Amino acid sequence: MRFHFHLRQLVDIAPWHNADGSNPHLGWFGLTDGWYWIEAGSAELFRYSQPLVAKWRREYSDVPWLEALPYVDYQVSRLWEDVLEILPAVLDPVPSRLAHALGPDEPWINWERAAKTAVEQAPHEQEAWDLLESAAGWWWARQLNTSYLQAAPQICFWSDGADIHIQWDNRACVLDGLPAWEAVIGEYKAPVADFIAEAQAFDARFLSRMHDRIAIAQSEWTRPDVALEPGLNQEQVARTGWPARRFDAIKGQDLTHWDAVFQAIARIEALPGFATDHALRLSHS
């Protein structure tokens, strides 16, 4: 697997503005403007579907995001931040008796639907929602944040201890009446060591490009109508230290309290509104 990205040329980056439309400017995050995708075996995540790309190419011209097609046009920092954010949870292995529910037959997805239905019917609904968070929060923590995108792709990373599993299910994702994403549903797995090496390589590639980009912008800026925010070097230094802190958060820690998860799952399954045919019955495993 591999995290891919391209940074847009400095002269082509649209500036940010104040709320009243004044003060066109660019800061560190804005300078990461570009496009990206994740290579997962033969699949490419964050790649728009061919019918959708063809429709957009017919209907639009001279818009900056056409350059990025077929991939997502957004600040690359967003992917970098979100991968690092979930990294400790991703590398915390899911116990085997729960990992079996994450297979292609979707027992966990069906369980979660049944759990939400039961929670909505519970007499003390807020307490029940808190219980569901205890039961399912481990899964939510392993989902890549894509909520900033229309028809947000559903992508999850988790470990069984030996491999990292990348799963996606975009069957419900539609844009302009067409399937949004080329990769509709599937799974790819890679050895944990390979995944860590690629996450570290992605971090190194991205921060190296940003270091060079800031140096070029500060010495060769050709857009007098767009101001560069002060403190770019300081922010680069701060961002450079973040990945090490995320990896340090993993070392020597059991990040997920699995016994509490199993207990919460059992309590959800005991709710009157829970469809028993979707029960995992992990307490009996």
Q: Where in the sequence is the domain holding 83, given as residue range(s)?
A: 2-284
pLDDT in tens, 173-192: 999 999 999 999 999 999 99
pTM, two decimals, is 0.92
Q: pLDDT (tens digit, 9 = 90+) per residue, 103-156?
A: 767 799 999 999 999 999 888 878 899 999 999 999 999 999 999 999 999 999
* Residue 208 CB coordination number (10 Å): 11
Count of structural domains, the chain = 1
pLDDT band at 251 (very low <50, low <70, confident <90, very high): low
Structure tokens at 11: 């002269």
pLDDT tens-digit series, residues 255-275 = 789 999 999 999 999 999 999
Q: What is the pLDDT of residue 1?
A: 95
| Mean pLDDT, the chain, whole residue set | 93
Structure tokens at 100: 């079996």
SS (H, E, C) 124-188: CHHHHHHHHHHHHHHHHCCECCCCCCCCCCCEEEEECCCEEEEEEECCCCEECCEECECCCEEEE
How confident is the model over 56-111, as pLDDT tens digits? 999 998 888 999 999 999 999 999 999 999 999 999 999 998 998 997 677 999 99
Q: For residue range 188-211, list pLDDT tens digits in order.
A: 999 999 999 999 999 999 999 999
Is 172 within 8 Å of 151 (Cβ atoms)?
A: no
| pLDDT band (50, 70, 90) for residue 161 | very high
Cα distances from 76 to residues 65, 137, 174, 284, in angstroms, run: 14, 26, 23, 45
Q: Is the pLDDT of residue 285 over 70?
A: no
Give residues with Cβ within 8 angstroms of 176, minimum separation 6.
Answer: 52, 55
Which tokens sit at 181?
């994403």
